[in-house]
Amino acid sequence: MLDIDHFKRVNDNYGHIIGDEILKRLAALLKTHIRQEDTAGRWGGEEFLLLFPDTDLAGAQRIAQLLQHAICVYEFPAELSQSCSFGVAQWDRFETLNDRLNRADSAIYQAKENGRNRIELSVH
């Protein structure tokens, strides 16, 4: 899961049209940097959910690092640079979907508390 850092500032300072364009471009950027078997989609607001089948926690962390770099170097509309905070959680077949999502979401909050533009892992 990832959350765009300081996205409210973009909407407040540049307007929702620019904010919407950033969301669209980020979605396209994610799709070009993941494998064909992976899934990326907007989860809500400025959050995106990414699914990496048959990938362990270390592999998901590596993919998140590649995405983090691609996002940081991409030139978004209005010549804005963006960063994202990532929360990575590995699938545990004994927990519910909500448990997994909550773990990833908690890891995002930890990334934001630790300075943003970070990747935090949720080890179960």
The residues assigned a catalytic role are 46
Q: What length does the chain have?
A: 124
The whole-angstrom separation of Cα 85 and Cα 116 is 5
Q: Which strand (E) or helix (H) includes residue 38? A: none
Nearest to 117 by CA among 57, 73, 56: 73
Q: What is the separation of C-alpha 107 from the centre of its chain, rounded to a whole number of angstroms? A: 11
For residue 18, give both structure tokens: 């620019």
For residue 15, give every residue at least 6 positions away whose Cβ sits within 8 Å of its Cβ, in sequence order, or none: none
Rounded Cα–Cα distance for residues 75 and 13 (Å): 17
